[in-house]
Amino acid sequence: NDVEAAVQTVWDNSGLWPNALVINRKVFRNLRNCAQIVDRAKAQNFMDVRPGAINEQQLAVVFDLEQVIVAGTPENTANEGAALSLSPIWSDEYAMVCRIAQTNDVREHCIGRTFHWGEDGSDIGGMVETYRDETKRSDIVRVRNDVDEKVLYVEAGHLLSNITT
């Protein structure tokens, strides 16, 4: 119900139908155990609605969206030299329903874009360079990936909060 209300909010605010739900891995795992999700999956005639069998594509069908994007990579939030402290990049207290770009046309209405600057030799996905530095007696690995993320149309998204508590 919350996702459907967010879809309607994006439409009302922007005139765009959202096409994606962005969540983290914990929320994804929780949604697969939600009775309303399982019931809707059964109504779609999915062969196997056990939680472990429901994937991102099936969840997208249940929500009538094109994509469910699951942010699953953690980041180390510890100070340098301290013990490892992993935290999810996308909080399990938030989910976002939004319109994401389907093309490379910058005129396409969407919530935002990632812009790449390749003037200094950066490649999309990163340019990996290795070289030897005898002053440090080390091989150096450097990756150049010059990008910037820009929110273009804030009305093309709706952030749901307090979804796990």
pTM: 0.81
Calculate mean pLDDT across residues 52-72. Answer: 92
pLDDT the model gives residue 164: 81
User: Could you tell me where the beta strands, DSSP code E, fall in 54-165?
Assistant: 67-71, 74-76, 86-88, 94-98, 112-116, 127-133, 138-144, 147-151, 157-161
pLDDT tens-digit series, residues 83-115: 999 988 888 899 999 999 999 999 999 999 999
State how far the alpha carbon of 97 is from the alpha carbons of 5, 13, 77, 86, 154, in Å: 10, 13, 27, 26, 11
Is residue 11 over pLDDT 90? yes
pLDDT the model gives residue 120: 79
Calculate mean pLDDT across residues 129-151. Answer: 92
Of the listed ranges 10-19, 72-81, 100-109, the least confidently predicted one is 72-81
pLDDT the model gives residue 46: 66
Is residue 121 over pLDDT 80? no
Is residue 47 over pLDDT 80? no
Calculate mean pLDDT across residues 161-165. Answer: 83
